[in-house]
Amino acid sequence: MEAPLSEALSVLADAQSLGAATADRIVSILREAVLQRGGASLALSGGNTPNLYLPLLADEPRLNAVPWKDISVFWADERCVPPGDPESNYGMAGRLLFSRAPVPPGNIHRIRGELPPEDAAAEYRATLATHFGSTPRIDLIVLGIGSDGHTASLFPGTAALASQEPACAVYAPRLGSWRVTLTLPALNNARNILFCVSGAAKAGILKKILSAETRTAYPAGLVMPTDGSLLWLIDSAAGHLLA
């Protein structure tokens, strides 16, 4: 597996400064993409870390720094629940960011978690194909990692890891629930991947993912954009086991 075009790691003192650094990076990548190509695509994840950075994007000075009218929003994954469900990644992003950031409604491409998983995945693949043509080349995908090394909804040991489609439905055994997720072909075709990792609970798995010997044993370690940048933004608690 080729190494990413560029890989970098930045350690922030605490979760708050990690959130600010993540929000700032999102702003600069989106601004650059719009400047270069007149538009930008952004894919978001769920979990807890979005609470650190999404609200910062919804407030000044960052809110006006992003040309939201030129941004197309996708998701790295979605729980197979209706949009109003507390578990919905779309619902969370709506509450934390899009209730304030003026992205045109037609630019928000949610995964319809209320559909049967395979139907939701097929519809999302069609949406991606309409927007990108072949394999999606997303300007920025913001990811997290689970303590089992998953990212998006690419859980260890699932068939989703081998999918050659840009998105698929996946049953998360540990959670006993269905998800729809971008797959490695889509993640590794991104222009920019940004991992945001916070907290001591992630220190062990992060060390394994960032070490060459064990990296590819974990889904998050398989994210190595072939023609894009890979940036790890972590706080010192998550990084305390790194050399």
Return residues touching ligand 6PG (CB under 6 A). Answer: 45-49, 76-77, 89, 143-146, 150-152
Residue among 48, 44, 65 at smallest CA distance from 108: 44
In angstroms, what is the minimal distance from the CB of 172 to ligand 6PG? Answer: 9
Residue among 143, 83, 135 at smallest CA distance from 108: 83
Contact 79, 85 (CB under 8 A): yes
Q: Which is nearer to ligand 6PG, 110 or 150 (CB)?
A: 150
Residue at shortest CB range from ligand 6PG: 47
Q: Which is nearer to ligand 6PG, 66 or 238 (CB)?
A: 238
The residues, ordered by sequence, that sit 6+ positions from 38 with a Cβ below 8 Å of its Cβ are 70
Q: Which is nearer to ligand 6PG, 34 or 187 (CB)?
A: 187
In angstroms, what is the minimal distance from the CB of 142 to ligand 6PG? Answer: 9
Q: Which is nearer to ligand 6PG, 70 or 117 (CB)?
A: 117
In angstroms, what is the minimal distance from the CB of 45 to ligand 6PG? Answer: 4
In angstroms, what is the minimal distance from the CB of 93 to ligand 6PG? Answer: 11
Q: Which is nearer to ligand 6PG, 16 or 36 (CB)?
A: 16
Distance of alpha carbon 123 from alpha carbon 131, whole angstroms: 12
Residue among 180, 158, 219 at smallest CA distance from 45: 180
In angstroms, what is the minimal distance from the CB of 186 to ligand 6PG? Answer: 14
149 phi/psi in degrees, rounded to 5:
90, 5
Angle among Cα 47, 179, 164 to the nearest 5 degrees reads 110
Distance of alpha carbon 73 from alpha carbon 108, whole angstroms: 5
